[in-house]
């Protein structure tokens, strides 16, 4: 632990510059991060008091490839990014957790009461209670703490700000009470449990896994209870590309049915083939019986099944390319993934409002601009919101300028691939 006064001093004097560069990758954000950390520590002192603390970080995530395949027990490729939630935390043995998130009122929670409370569904306190319950049930030590948390993970941009928060709670408990020995995969699974059971949101595991494990990871959901997680060993920075997330300012209202229809229609195809999910189906059998499948379930479910089988290959090709250092082939796999999402999955705009196609415009503009400088694709769930682009560093500033001109200032967020998941920074 380090005293808050001392922490402010050493960060200000640059004694942790190398640590922060290692965590956040981009030297251009170093001054911002130093000010951010110092401000967070000062906020902790104001809310609580000068104290001995530890500082934790949990990143947001980006889906790289494997669009809408996890619910069919497919494969995905995801990465942590250099936007994160940080928490200034101090251990207290009074069984009480006091946590303040930037801009919100203090949450006070007694760790002796970890019962599910339906009235708390959808609230931050439900996530904390759920993570603690999951950790306790796994036999880990839990206890009270004071914490101030702040996040620069973009909300509503498909970067998993909620998963980052869940992971930061698990990481705090790991650091303060378990010597940072709780496995990152287990923290991810417990975070999903908290969101499913306590927060009452039926999410998959990809978000939590990418935030907790960190780096570029390949997840195989063939057995969703025990997903196979493989960290891809690659130095992404050597390729001189940045990850750009473009907020197209689309309206997310009333898209629930659009999202729900994707797994529903995919399962129609799987069920016709006598299986529960598409991962269990033979793609050759799908093609052989396509005429009957179209007649039985319709064309869009068939197209979405096309996407699933195509996307499984895209993920594997992207993984193989990164492992072999063939970056052009990685970019090609991402481009093909984007094309499959647009043409077959059809999650770039809602067909109930064809006059508003923010992401279609963003993709068209990006393809026209990037040419040999990168590739783009829909990001996350789709229908509104964000696209993703891998852009060569030589062209990043020009790309951002064009995008911001069309979608508004700071629509384009230039990010880096972060190699760490949930960690203790100081």
* Per-residue tens of pLDDT for the chain, all 426 residues: 899 999 999 999 999 999 999 999 988 899 999 999 999 999 999 999 889 999 999 999 899 999 999 999 999 999 999 999 999 999 987 899 999 999 889 999 999 999 998 888 888 999 999 999 999 999 999 999 999 999 998 776 565 688 899 999 999 999 999 999 999 989 999 999 998 898 887 777 788 888 999 999 999 999 988 889 999 988 898 999 999 999 998 766 678 788 889 999 999 999 999 999 999 999 999 999 999 999 999 999 999 999 999 999 999 999 999 999 999 999 999 999 999 999 999 999 988 888 889 999 999 999 999 999 999 999 988 888 899 999 999 999 999 999 999 999 999 999 999 999 999 999
Give the phi and the psi of residue 332 in degrees, each rounded to 5.
-65, -40
Position 160 scores a pLDDT of 65
CATH number of the domain at 238-415, please?
3.30.70.890
Q: What is the pLDDT of residue 225?
A: 80
| pLDDT reported for residue 354 | 87
pLDDT at 142: 95
Q: For the CA atoms of 19, 24, 25, 28, what is the dihedral angle to 10 degrees?
A: -100
What is the pLDDT, as a whole number, of residue 422? 96
**What ranges do the domains of the chain cover?**
2-233+419-424, 238-415
Name the CATH topology of 2-233+419-424: Ribosomal Protein S5; domain 2 (3.30.230)
CB atoms within 10 A of CB 230: 14
């Amino acid at each position: 632990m380090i005293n808050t006064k001392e922490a402010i001093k050493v960060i200000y004097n640059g004694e942790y510059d190398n640590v922060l560069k290692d965590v956040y990758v981009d030297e251009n954000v170093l001054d911002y991060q130093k000010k951010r950390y110092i401000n967070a520590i000062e906020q902790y002192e104001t809310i609580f008091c000068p104290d001995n603390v530890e500082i934790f970080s949990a990143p947001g995530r980006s889906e790289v490839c494997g669009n809408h395949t996890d619910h069919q027990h497919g494969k995905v490729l995801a990465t942590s990014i250099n936007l994160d939630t940080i928490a200034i935390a101090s251990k207290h043995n009074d069984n009480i957790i006091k946590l303040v998130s930037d801009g919100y009122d203090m949450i006070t929670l007694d760790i002796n009461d970890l019962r599910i409370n339906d009235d708390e569904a959808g609230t931050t306190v439900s996530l904390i209670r759920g993570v603690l319950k999951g950790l306790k049930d796994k036999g880990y030590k839990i206890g009270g703490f004071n914490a101030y948390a702040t996040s620069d993970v973009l909300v509503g941009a498909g970067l998993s700000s909620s998963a980052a928060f869940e992971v930061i709670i698990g990481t705090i408990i790991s650091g303060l009470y378990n010597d940072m020995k709780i496995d990152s995969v287990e923290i991810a699974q417990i975070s999903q449990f908290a969101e499913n059971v306590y927060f009452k949101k039926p999410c998959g595991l990809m978000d939590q896994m990418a935030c907790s494990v960190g780096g570029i990871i390949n997840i195989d959901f063939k057995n969703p209870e025990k997903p196979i997680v493989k960290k891809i060993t690659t130095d992404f920075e050597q390729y001189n590309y940045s990850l750009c997330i473009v907020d197209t300012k689309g309206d997310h209202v009333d898209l629930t049915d659009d999202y729900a229809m994707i797994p529903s229609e995919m399962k129609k195809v799987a069920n016709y083939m006598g299986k529960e999910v598409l991962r269990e189906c033979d793609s050759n059998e799908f093609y052989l019986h396509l005429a009957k499948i179209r007649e039985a379930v319709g064309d869009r479910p068939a197209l979405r099944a096309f996407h699933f089988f195509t996307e499984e290959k895209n993920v594997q090709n992207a993984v193989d390319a990164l492992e072999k250092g063939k970056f052009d082939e990685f970019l090609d796999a991402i481009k093909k993934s984007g094309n499959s999402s647009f043409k077959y999955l059809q999650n770039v705009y809602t067909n109930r409002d064809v006059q508003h196609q923010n992401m279609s415009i963003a993709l068209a503009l990006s393809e026209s601009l990037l040419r040999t400088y990168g590739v783009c694709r829909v990001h996350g769930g789709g229908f509104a919101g964000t696209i993703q682009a891998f852009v060569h560093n030589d062209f990043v500033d020009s790309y951002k300028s064009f995008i911001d001109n069309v979608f508004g200032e700071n629509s384009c967020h230039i990010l880096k691939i972060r190699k760490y998941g949930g960690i203790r920074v100081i």
